[in-house]
Amino acid sequence: MPDVKPDVTTRRLDLAGTRSFAAPGAGTARRTALARFGHEWLGELWSAATDGRVVPGVALAAVGSLARRDGGPLSDYDLVLLHQTRALGGADLNALADRLWYPIWDAGVKLDHSVRTVNQCRTVAGADLSAAVGLLDITYVAGDEEVVNAARSTVAHDWRGNARTRLPQLQEGIVARHARQGDLAHLIEPDLKEARGGLRDMTVLRALTAAWLADRPHGEVDDAYARLLDVRDAVHVVTGRGRDRLGREDHDAAAALLGYPDSDLLLTDVSASARTIAYALDGTLRRAAQSQRARTLRVGPRRPRLTPLGYGLFLHDGEAVLGPGVDPRSDPLLILRAALVAARNGVTIAPTTLANLAAHCPPLPEPWPEQALAVLGDLLATGPGLVAVWEGLDLAGVVERWIPEWSAVRSRPQRNAVHRHTVDRHLVETVVRASGLLREVARPDLLLLAALLHDIGKVAGSRDHSETGAPIADRVLARMGVVDADRELVVRLVREHLTLIDLATRRDGDDPATVAAVSDAVGGDVATLDLLRALTEADASAAGPAAWTDWRASLLAKLVGTARTALEQGAPPTEGYRPPDPVPDEVHLRLATGQPYVVVTPLGGAHRVDVFDRDRLGLFADTAGLLAAQGHIVRSAVVRTVDGVAANEWHVETPGGDAPDEGAVMRGLMRLSEGDREPIAVLERRRRTPADSSRATSGSPGQTRAMVISHASDTATVIEVRAGDRPGLLHEIGMTLARASLSVRSAHIATYAGQALDTFYVTEFGGRPLPPARVAQAVSMIIDTCDGVG
């Protein structure tokens, strides 16, 4: 038995570190050395297990990463003990397997093993698609090499022969795996192996080639695969585990090991590599399907079916191709037109056609001719068909030729929890969403340009991407030949694209100062307001469901409606805060019985809760605490007093979907008004055990920021609070303000990644803004409350 010391794991890590991870060619050299060591070590184990004897008809073979020689420092070994029937008796074969497997386990190497005959390999490959793909790579390690050759040739022969039936199964498995694991290009914590565009997809590409269905792309695809392998190797080293998931906690260490200045650049390269592999897989699958259709028996000569698309392009086997005699060197607009007809028909441009166009179409003159800008506008208006076409153009380098600034946002990660795509893909998704809103605006062409460029300022080092992006967009639009007035409008939309949603969710929409801010953002123009509203919706809905909820949509609609009315009247309102509506008579009758009155109204995925009660100190805090205790998430509250009656409007979301119980809210408020704190006692219990809460505490004491937002209102003092969220935080802040004898006129609540971002409009009793001394006192008390002081 060979000496397995020094520890095999240590030895593999030593081999991984023999050259700098960042050195040119280091990854290939590292993986070659690891594979050589693995084969040599296993060969020694084989010699020891067989006592150096030749055992005819028996061999040790590798599959998986060891067979492909692309394993990482701590990758598993996938081994097969192959044997011919009756080469060894059952007891002897089992004993040989034990003498092989146990030393590997003892050495700390993870092992996937099997014992099979050649016919059993054939049977397993026929029944299990993933096993068939793996066995295509089977490689000799030790023993009788002819047995391994027989297994490899048999499995490959069957794979080619059954390609017609296996291809649909392979495609179904790919779709299911991608649905489970997500898109590697857009994940912050991706599975480098199983996600779309990951290492597993490269194995599928090789399998399609082995089936003689289609050749796979090379060059850039091989480089992308090597980059992902390098990242996988770095994950093994920094974690000390043979894992394929790039966890958030490993970003910085992996980036440093690979020589990246920061982890964002690492994720950018991961995303770009995944996109290259995913695009290659999509195209290879299409060509494999075309190959299958071409094998169908036909009577008479087989001619390609070409459907005219226009501009000299034709539809052939689900792809747009150039027709005969079309010379791309004669028309700089041809690639734009090809993209347009492909996107309109929901197909992609064939890779050879795209490469031809990218290489030979002359560059567009600067500024662009008017016709080129018109074709681009038509392309952006094609809707969902744009996504795949734009991806091909981007990977071919065409988009960067049109918009050089695109390279700074290509594949750039977004660490904001609400975003589901990289910056560049989010821009394209926003264009797609905006294409569904074109009938709602006077200038749909400008809406699409703004959607394409609204996040172009999300570049390294940018603090405010809206401000950074505005001059970048200006340069892009000038190059495209957009006239001055239109260019100024699009630049305004880029600069202000976050204004409406920020004001709607973090400011009091009834306050004249909020409406005035909207008017300033759109230059007092209703048509610009419509454009900005459509861009806001497209941006939020493209970001993901967390950014575009029914609650956010209702707040945006309310603010835009108020601002539109003001603008159509000629100027924002200046008469002060909107007076409250009178309390209905039925409410007075209910309150006369000594009970509060509660009305719940559904608002899509949210609920409006109107609470009428005798005004009293602490009512805001009690209501906030009661709603939180009953499992509701408060999103906004408007607090008004009319003739001594509190008429408060709350907007809440409920994770479970159940509407607030009117009776339960009324009974809880009654008990709280009588001094019984039991209805909200659960908040204290949750606070003591934050792990049991869906809104667990984030951050640490001393991290709270509370500040006054000047000029946000002329009739109230506006305080913005940023703190680690926890159960009942809004209730605690409300109680603090009550202790300070302050009235809460409205509250606007948001939580992002465990951080509360809440805005409070507070006044003295009587409705006056706070004097400076009282402001300082309120801010200090809020900070102490959020930090748990006192």
Task: Give 450-479 pLDDT, tens digit per residue.
Answer: 999 999 999 988 889 999 999 999 999 999
Q: Does any domain span residue 631?
A: yes
Q: Does any domain span residue 527?
A: no
Residue 297 has pLDDT above 70, yes or no: no
pLDDT level of residue 580 (50, 70, 90 thresholds): low
**Cβ contacts of 400-407, under 8 Å, gap ≥ 24:** 401/363, 402/364, 402/376, 403/476, 405/456, 405/472, 405/475, 405/476, 406/456
Q: What is the pLDDT of residues 94-148, one digit of tens each?
A: 999 999 999 999 888 999 999 999 999 999 988 888 889 989 999 999 999 999 9
Angstrom distance (rounded) from CA 656 to CA 631: 8
> pLDDT at position 569, please?
84
The pLDDT mean for the chain works out to: 87
Contact 234, 227 (CB under 8 A): no
Find the range with the poorest average confidence among 206-215, 378-387, 579-588, 646-655.
579-588
What is the pTM assigned to this prediction? 0.83
> Of 566, 502, 475, 578, whose CA–CA distance to 529 is shortest?
566
Residue 430 has pLDDT above 90, yes or no: yes
> pLDDT at position 46, please?
94
Same domain, 626 and 773: yes
State the DSSP code for 780: H
pLDDT level of residue 24 (50, 70, 90 thresholds): confident
From 402, 418, 435, the end of a domain falls on 402
Same domain, 67 and 157: yes
Find the range with the poorest average confidence among 14-18, 42-46, 82-86, 490-494.
14-18
> pLDDT at position 3, please?
47
Same domain, 102 and 243: no
> pLDDT at position 574, please?
46
Q: Does any domain span residue 450?
A: no
> pLDDT at position 687, please?
63
Residue 369 has pLDDT above 90, yes or no: yes
Q: Does any domain span residue 607?
A: yes
Same domain, 249 and 382: no
Residue 390 has pLDDT above 70, yes or no: yes
Residue 576 has pLDDT above 50, yes or no: no
Q: How far is CA 772 from CA 1, 216, 534, 747, in A?
A: 83, 70, 40, 21
Residue 307 has pLDDT above 70, yes or no: yes
> pLDDT at position 688, please?
58
From 380, 402, 424, the end of a domain falls on 402
Q: What single letter denotes the amino acid at residue 760?
A: F
Q: Does any domain span residue 117?
A: yes
Same domain, 230 and 340: no
Angstrom distance (rounded) from CA 631 to CA 460: 40
From 268, 294, 320, the end of a domain falls on 294
Q: What is the CATH number of the domain that holds 96?
A: 3.30.460.10
Same domain, 283 and 336: no
> pLDDT at position 767, please?
78
Q: Does any domain span residue 299?
A: no
Same domain, 217 and 108: no
pLDDT level of residue 1 (50, 70, 90 thresholds): very low
> pLDDT at position 295, please?
56
Among residues of the chain, what percentage have pLDDT more than 70? 92
Q: Does any domain span residue 574?
A: no
pLDDT level of residue 79 (50, 70, 90 thresholds): very high
pLDDT level of residue 278 (50, 70, 90 thresholds): very high
Same domain, 687 and 721: yes
Angstrom distance (rounded) from CA 790 to CA 178: 51
> pLDDT at position 514, please?
92
> pLDDT at position 40, please?
93
Q: Which residue has the higher pLDDT, 120 or 20?
A: 120
Mean per-residue pLDDT for 31-60? 92
Which of 323-327, 372-376, 572-576: highest mean pLDDT? 372-376
Q: What is the CATH number of the domain that holds 667?
A: 3.30.70.260
Same domain, 642 and 755: yes
Q: Please, what is the angle between helix 499-506 and helix 512-521, to 10°? A: 170
Does an H or E element contain 303, and which?
none
**Domain encompassing residue 81:** 8-161
> pLDDT at position 612, please?
92
Q: Which residues contact 391 (CB under 8 A, 6 or more apart)?
A: 275, 279, 428
Same domain, 87 and 228: no
- In 626-770, which ranges are E strands? 633-638, 641-642, 645-653, 705-708, 717-724, 742-748, 751-752, 755-764
> Of 224, 234, 291, 288, whose CA–CA distance to 257 is shortest?
234
Q: What is the pLDDT of residues 619-666, one digit of tens each?
A: 999 999 999 898 888 888 888 877 778 888 888 888 776 889 999 999
Query: Hey, CA dihedral for 328, 329, 335, 336, is it positive or negative?
Result: negative
> pLDDT at position 749, please?
84
> pLDDT at position 666, please?
93
Same domain, 761 and 689: yes
Number of separate domains in the chain? 4
> Of 777, 765, 522, whose CA–CA distance to 644 is shortest?
765
CB count within 10 Å of CB 131 equals 17
CB count within 10 Å of CB 375 equals 19
Residue 18 has pLDDT above 80, yes or no: no
Same domain, 648 and 767: yes
Residue 731 has pLDDT above 70, yes or no: yes
pLDDT level of residue 750 (50, 70, 90 thresholds): confident
Residue 230 has pLDDT above 50, yes or no: yes
pLDDT level of residue 237 (50, 70, 90 thresholds): very high
Mean per-residue pLDDT for 293-298? 54
Q: Does any domain span residue 508?
A: no
